[in-house]
Each structure stands twice: as structure tokens, then as C-alpha cells.
């Protein structure tokens, strides 16, 4: 029971941290639709390594729902869930393959997150030309994933000693 | 850090950057100044305007309103009722293929070349 409560508290805290990061991120604009730094992904990479994909999925979905309720719309919910599901699936598979470090896993997550969002944007608007932005988003996703992967790896390492 | 994983990471980064930069180069090389913008609402064509004439249009959809300004050969979304405001924060566009996207209102503004290609499949 004690462990369960502790875990629940950790998940809640992670969800809050991810929400703050999405809020911060909403102020960073590159003038390209969908291009985001993916700051909340730091929390997801950390959770994926610390607890596992189920807990990460729960926090990630809750984060999408709550941020959409607070700062967005139903449409932005579909948009962010598509990105989150796709990136989490790819990150889980890559982590399981045990061939990449946290950095590689996070880069793949960053790119697929953008790809998922583009796919939804095309599905919603019916304008295929939006795929025009995919190369920019892929470069952005790779660089952002790199930074976030390095930061995530540091957090994972530091918090390893802390018993949470 | 595990050396083998580091190598795999580096290969992943290299492949991702190479592929996306190559795609980017293809897009950049095929870029040309567009002549008109096609506005779509809910996936259907709403209007098309030439980039050569300055104008201000209010795009009314069931989801809200978007203000499209065409000035000096560029199209820009200057105001919108959508909650995220991402479309307004996009930079102005003038090259074929570029688009302004407002997901909440399901509005897109895409620049097309002079041959008046039909962008809706
Ligand atoms: Zn908008």
C-alpha cells in the first residue's frame, strides 16, 4: 500500500511537471505549424526508464487531456494524443530493443511526435500540402530530441540514487 | 555510457539528419514564388485570392473566424478566434507549398503556383 501511494504521488508530480513544461513550451514559437521543442518529453523519457511504459502512457494521456482542457480545444487534444501515442510506442520499442541509449530513444520520440501531429493536421484539414513541413519538423525533432535526451539521461542518472 | 549504444545513437542521429536535410533540400529547390492562396475550411475549398492584390478577408467558419491579410505579396493570419492562436503566430508566407494552418477552426491557407493546381485531391 505504502509503495502504491508513493508511486501515485510520483506519477501526479510528473504529470504536473509535464503540464508546466507544455505551458512553457506554448510560448516558444518557430513560425512553423506543429514545431515544438517537446519539453514534456523529458518527463516521459524519465518515467519510461524509471517505471515502464504503462505508467508513462497514463501520465502522457492525462497530460494531453488536462492541457487541452486548460489551454486548448478538443481538436488540440486529438492532435497531441496522436503525437503522444506514436512517440511513446516508438520509444518503448526502441528501449526494449536495448540498442539505443536514452538519447537515441528520445530523438526517435521527438521525430515521431512531430510526424503524428502532421498526420492529424492532414487528416483534419484534408490539405496534404502540410506534409511540406515534415522535413523542417524532422530536423527540429532530431535536434530537440538530442537536447532532451541528454537532459533526460542526466535526470535519470541523478535520481537513481533517490528512493522515490 | 555503453559504447555500442553510443554508436547506434550516432548512426540514428546521422540517418535522421541526412534524410530530413535531403528532403528539405528537395523542398527548398522546388520552391518558387506562388501566385495565389487557396483557403480551405473543413477540407473544402472556401476561396482563392491572388497574392498580387492587397486585401483583408475574414474567413468565417462554423468553428470561428480567421483574419487573412494579403499585403506586399505575402499572406498572413493576423487574428483568429481559435484558443491556441498558433495560426496567428506563424510567419507570413509567399512560396508555393507553404501554408498557414488553424487546426481548431479547421482553416488552411496554402500558397499555390500560377497554374492553379487543384489542391483538394
Ligand atoms: Zn488558429
**Within a domain: B117:** no
Residues B78 and B43 in one domain: yes
- Domain span including residue B16: 1-30
Strand partners, A80: none
Residues B47 and B92 in one domain: yes
Q: From ligand 1's centre to the CA of A108, what distance in Å? A: 28
**Within a domain: B50:** yes
Most A-contacting residue of B3, B11, B16 (CB-CB within 10 A), to test interface: B16
CB contact under 8 A, A75 and B91: no
Q: Give me the pLDDT at residue B121, please.
A: 43
What are the pLDDT digits (tens) for A36-84?
Answer: 777 888 899 999 998 899 999 999 999 989 888 887 666 678 878 888 8
Q: What is the mean pLDDT of residues A3-25?
A: 88
Residues of A with CB under 8 A from a CB of B: 26, 29, 31-34, 71-73, 75-76, 79, 99-101, 103-104, 107-108, 111, 121, 124-130, 132, 134-136, 138-139, 141-142, 146
Q: What is the ipTM of this complex?
A: 0.76
Q: List chain A residues with CB under 8 Å of B43.
A: 124-127
Residues B76 and B58 in one domain: yes
**Within a domain: B120:** no
Does pLDDT of B117 surpass 60? no
Chain B: residue whose CA lies nearest to A123: B43
Q: From ligand 1's centre to the CA of B80, what distance in Å? A: 6
Q: Domains of chain A, with CATH numbers? A: 5-161 (1.10.1760.20)
Q: List chain B residues with CB under 8 Å of A87.
A: none
CATH number of the domain within which B77 lies: 2.60.320.10
What are the pLDDT digits (tens) for B10-59?
Answer: 998 899 888 888 888 887 777 778 899 999 998 889 999 999 999 999 99
Q: List chain B residues with CB under 8 Å of A150.
A: none
Question: Cell digits for A148?
Answer: 532532451
Residue among B12, B41, B38, B30 at smallest CA distance from B104: B41
Residues B14 and B62 in one domain: no
User: How far is Cα B95 from Cα B98, in angstroms, rounded to an integer?
Assistant: 6
Tally of domains in chain B? 2
Residues B41 and B18 in one domain: no
**Within a domain: B91:** yes
Residues B53 and B104 in one domain: yes
Residues B6 and B53 in one domain: no
**Within a domain: B119:** no
- Cβ contact A33:B101 at 8 Å: yes
Residues B17 and B71 in one domain: no
**Within a domain: B121:** no
Which of A17-26, B65-74, B78-87, B91-100 holds the top average pLDDT? B65-74
Report which of residues A3 and A4 the model is more confident about.
A4
Residues B3 and B43 in one domain: no
Residues B54 and B1 in one domain: no
Residues B43 and B91 in one domain: yes
Strands (E), chain B: 36-41, 44-50, 55-61, 64-71, 74-80, 99-102, 107-112
The torsion angles phi and psi of A25, rounded to 5 degrees, stand at -65, -30
Q: How far is the alpha carbon of A32 from chain B, nearest alpha carbon, in Å?
A: 6
**Within a domain: B63:** yes
Residues B40 and B17 in one domain: no
Of B8, B90, B104, the CB nearest to A76: B104
CB contact under 8 A, B119 and A71: no
DSSP SS3 for A1: coil
Report which of residues B46 and A145 the model is more confident about.
B46
Cα-based distances in Å from A15 to A55, B73, B109: 11, 45, 35
Amino acid at each position: 500500500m505504502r509503495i502504491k501511494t508513493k508511486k501515485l504521488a510520483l506519477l501526479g508530480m510528473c504529470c504536473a511537471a509535464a503540464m508546466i513544461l507544455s505551458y512553457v513550451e506554448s510560448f516558444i514559437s518557430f513560425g512553423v505549424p506543429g514545431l515544438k521543442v517537446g519539453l514534456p518529453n523529458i518527463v516521459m523519457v524519465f518515467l519510461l526508464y524509471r517505471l515502464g511504459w504503462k505508467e508513462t502512457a497514463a501520465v502522457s494521456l492525462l497530460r494531453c487531456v488536462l492541457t487541452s482542457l486548460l489551454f486548448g480545444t478538443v481538436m488540440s487534444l486529438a492532435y497531441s494524443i496522436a503525437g503522444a501515442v506514436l512517440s511513446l510506442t516508438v520509444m518503448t520499442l526502441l528501449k526494449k530493443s536495448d540498442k539505443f541509449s536514452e538519447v537515441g530513444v528520445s530523438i526517435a520520440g521527438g521525430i515521431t511526435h512531430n510526424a503524428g501531429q502532421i498526420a492529424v493536421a492532414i487528416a483534419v484539414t484534408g490539405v496534404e500540402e502540410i506534409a511540406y513541413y515534415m522535413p523542417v519538423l524532422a530536423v527540429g525533432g532530431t535536434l530537440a530530441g538530442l537536447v532532451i535526451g541528454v537532459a533526460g539521461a542526466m535526470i535519470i542518472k541523478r535520481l537513481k540514487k533517490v528512493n522515490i | 555510457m555503453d559504447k555500442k549504444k553510443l554508436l547506434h545513437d550516432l548512426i540514428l542521429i546521422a540517418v535522421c539528419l541526412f534524410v530530413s536535410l535531403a528532403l528539405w533540400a528537395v523542398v527548398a529547390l522546388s520552391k518558387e514564388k506562388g501566385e495565389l492562396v487557396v483557403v480551405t475550411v473543413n477540407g473544402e475549398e472556401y476561396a482563392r485570392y491572388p497574392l498580387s492584390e492587397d486585401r483583408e478577408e475574414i474567413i468565417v467558419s462554423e468553428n470561428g473566424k480567421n483574419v487573412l491579410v494579403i499585403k506586399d505579396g505575402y499572406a498572413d493570419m493576423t487574428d483568429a478566434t481559435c484558443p491556441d492562436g498558433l495560426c496567428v503566430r506563424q510567419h507570413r508566407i509567399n512560396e508555393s507549398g507553404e501554408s498557414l494552418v488553424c487546426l481548431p477552426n479547421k482553416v488552411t491557407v496554402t500558397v499555390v503556383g500560377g497554374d492553379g493546381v487543384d489542391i483538394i485531391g
